[in-house]
Amino acid sequence: MKKIAIFGHDAGGSELLIELLKASLHVGEFKVFCEKNSPCYNILKQKNLTKYLNLVEPSKKFVFQKLDKLNPDMVLYSTGWQNHTEYHFLSYAKKHKIPSIAFLDNWTNYRERFGYPASNWKKKFPDYIATHDETSEKLASSFGLPNLISIKNYALINQLENFKKTLIKQEDTLLFLSEPTAKVAKKTFNDPYYWGFDESNVFQSILKHKKEFNCDKIVVRLHPSDIADTYTNIEPNISISTASLEEDIARAKVIIGIDSSVLYLAFLLGKKTIAFVPSTNRDFHVPLPKANQICTLENLNMNSIIINKKNTNNYGMEFASFIKRILG
């Protein structure tokens, strides 16, 4: 069997790759490389998949030594904003002339994941860049990212299937999907308030306009890189979720966030879903209907929010088919 090295760090991309692994065990011997206590590390533990785990340190020498022991036939890696250890995996693939694939998650900062706006950012392109839905593919293409391939979003497929199994009934709850907006802006633009707002502003606006949502209760679901204090310091009695994602979505009557990919999942599941970006300095990226993309909660009309009634999840090829085409 072919040996396939995976590197993950941020939660979204790691979820994509780990679910791809689970769906493709029949085509390769997989090893997942990540740093200890990273979001990827935690996901592997939660899914009881630590037998595939190989810990690495963020140094090129250490990564190369680990990969030399595996001698992989292909390198897959997630892209993100928190960590760029994946560049060492790309360097190894280029040096040893083995295929490399970068996986895009979400719909934001596509060029920045490869080092833009640095003058040499295009040198960080792998052999292939995998998109996860039609919007992702169109966005990547609009930025001129090369050698795009469409691979099934096994994470989304798994989440949709899990939701169908839940017996939890909907409650009168507004679910807020938190995001560490200030951290992202600080790391990307060296200005935590680059977009003119942060997660605290969003949360405060939601509290102020709670009546507009026609929900009795607000629950905060934390992003893996976010902390509860951001919200409990504003509202000490706020509920911070410890439930599974499927349980949170099932209970929620309305779901609101900024750019979380969970918004798209919730929309596909037929929930009233709102992307809230209180700024003209930042675009909407989650592929929701325009009516569900809100800049202000003033005079919010929940009756105008569109609910999805279609089953749309046929994007991309099986990873096994791609492996056969590339590696034989």
Q: What is the per-residue pLDDT across 228-267, written as a single tens digit (0 to 9) for each?
A: 999 999 999 999 999 999 999 999 999 999 999 899 999 9
Q: How far is CA 123 from the centre of its chain?
A: 24
Q: Please report the pLDDT score of residue 163 as a whole number.
A: 85
Say yes or no to pLDDT of 313 above 90: no
The model's confidence at residue 164, banded by pLDDT at 50, 70 and 90, is: confident
Q: Element (H or E) spanning 254, and its range?
A: strand 252-257
Q: Which residue has the tokens 């992307």?
A: 275
* Main-chain phi, psi angles of 255, to 5 degrees: -125, 130
Say yes or no to pLDDT of 309 above 90: no
Q: CB 29: neighbour CB atoms within 10 A?
A: 14
Q: Answer for the pair 173, 251: CB distance below 8 angstroms, yes or no.
A: yes
Q: Is 95 or 326 the better-scoring residue by pLDDT? A: 95
- Ordered domains of the chain (ranges, CATH): 2-153+314-327 (3.40.50.2000), 166-304 (3.40.50)
- List, in sequence order, the alpha helices (H) in the chain: 11-23, 39-46, 60-70, 86-96, 134-142, 154-165, 181-189, 199-208, 229-232, 245-251, 261-268, 319-327
What is the average pLDDT across 2-21? 96
Mean pLDDT score across all residues of the chain: 94
The 3-state secondary structure of 113-157, one letter per residue = HHCCCCCCHHHHCCCEEEECCHHHHHHHHHCCCCCEEEECCHHHH
